[in-house]
């Protein structure tokens, strides 16, 4: 068996033709787990051959809109593309609080659309979800399990947004940690200790500091690349993946290249290496992946 970690979106609230909103797909055996669902998540899943009905569960890290705007699309598509009433409701797992409220209410504006579709197609069931909300634990705690694959949640530092969590996916092939949005903090280190892959949000603080002062507030709650490197080095992390890239760099090559971007992927890599990290490093583009197999070091695969 292998486990794939596919970066479905590397973007931020800033619209970008090349980068979908934040998201990570972890496929392990028959399980397909989506972590966050920013804009265009459905399209990115389609690009890797993921039919919506194949998703096992969706997990949200926090209630910021850029991490959730694709969730209603995902749930609606899951139901619309099903045939008849024979389908399994999608599982959604979120920290209790605002994210729970959002998921509970997000389909209400679509009630008329859902009603006419159900009547016209003679379906007795409308959209259903299995919503699980958990209280944020003081230390990483298991919140979901299927067989030998478990998902644990741990609090991270994204104040004033609360609650905010990261997730650790434990599989027979290895462990993957997804930070969500956070400062570089001890909480991330606790969640990630001993993992094989760490998917970390990343911001170039000097570039943001040189930008308009009205945007400097975002420095309060994102991960500084100058601090990510030392933490990943101290953890001995085999593979580090940077995503939610602010500001977004131009791709080095390929059909989605953005000429003229203010920063490059090298600008993200440099402070990580200068911080002492010597492991495998991926400044992610949408649909890049890391493959895990038991007893084998993680393998980075760039998108075609």
Domain boundaries, the chain: 2-301
Q: What is the pLDDT of residue 257?
A: 43
Give 143: exposed, middle or buried? Use CB within 10 Å, 0-12, 13-18, 19+: buried
Distance CA 302, CA 289 (A): 6
Active site residue 288: no
Between β-strands 31-35 and 23-28, what pairing exists: parallel, antiparallel or unpaired? antiparallel
The pTM of the full predicted model, rounded to 2 decimals, is 0.94
DSSP label at 105? H
Q: How does the average pLDDT of the chain come out, rounded?
A: 92
CATH 3.60.15.10 fits 2-301, yes or no: yes
250 contacts 231 by C-beta, under 8 angstroms: no
162 contacts 181 by C-beta, under 8 angstroms: no
Question: pLDDT over 70 for what percent of the chain?
Answer: 94
Tens of pLDDT, residue by residue over 231-289, are 999 999 999 999 999 999 975 444 444 444 579 999 999 999 999 999 999 999 999 99
Distance CA 290, CA 86 (A): 34
Residue of 18, 36, 66, 224 marked active site? 66
Distance CA 165, CA 296 (A): 29
pLDDT class of 113 with cuts at 50, 70, 90: confident
Tens of pLDDT, residue by residue over 114-164, are 888 887 878 777 777 899 999 999 999 999 999 999 999 999 999 999 999
- In degrees, rounded to 5, the angle at the alpha carbon of residue 67 between the alpha carbons of residues 146 and 159 is 100
Tens of pLDDT, residue by residue over 66-102, are 999 999 999 998 888 877 667 788 899 999 999 999 9
For the chain, the straight-line distance linking the first and the last C-alpha, in angstroms and rounded, comes to 23
Distance CA 180, CA 136 (A): 14
């Amino acid at each position: 068996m292998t486990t794939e970690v596919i970066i479905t979106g590397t973007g931020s609230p800033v619209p970008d033709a090349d980068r979908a909103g934040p998201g990570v797909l972890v496929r392990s055996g028959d399980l397909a787990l989506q972590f966050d669902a920013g804009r265009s998540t459905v399209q990115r899943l389609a690009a890797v051959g993921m039919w919506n009905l194949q998703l096992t569960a969706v997990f949200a890290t926090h209630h910021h809109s850029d991490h959730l705007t694709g969730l209603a699309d995902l749930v609606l598509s899951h139901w619309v593309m099903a045939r008849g009433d024979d389908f399994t409701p999608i599982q959604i797992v979120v920290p209790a609080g605002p994210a729970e409220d959002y998921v509970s209410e997000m389909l209400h504006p679509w009630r008329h659309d859902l009603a006419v579709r159900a009547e016209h197609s003679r379906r007795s069931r409308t959209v259903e979800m299995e919503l699980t909300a958990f209280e944020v634990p003081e230390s990483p705690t298991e919140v979901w399990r299927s067989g030998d694959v478990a998902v644990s949640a741990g609090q991270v530092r994204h104040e004033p947004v609360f609650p905010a969590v990261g997730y650790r996916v434990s599989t027979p092939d290895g462990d993957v940690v997804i930070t969500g949005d956070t400062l570089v903090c001890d909480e991330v280190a606790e969640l990630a200790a001993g993992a094989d892959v760490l998917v970390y949000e990343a911001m170039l603080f000097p570039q943001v500091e040189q930008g308009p002062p009205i945007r400097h507030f975002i420095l309060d709650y994102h991960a500084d690349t100058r601090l990510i490197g030392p933490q990943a080095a101290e953890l001995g992390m085999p593979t580090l993946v940077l995503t939610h890239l602010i500001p977004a760099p131009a791709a080095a090559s390929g059909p989605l290249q953005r000429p003229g971007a203010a920063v490059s992927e090298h600008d993200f890599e440099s402070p990580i290496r200068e911080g002492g990290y010597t492991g495998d490093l991926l400044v992610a583009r949408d649909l890049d992946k890391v493959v895990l197999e038991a007893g084998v070091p993680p393998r980075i695969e760039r998108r075609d």
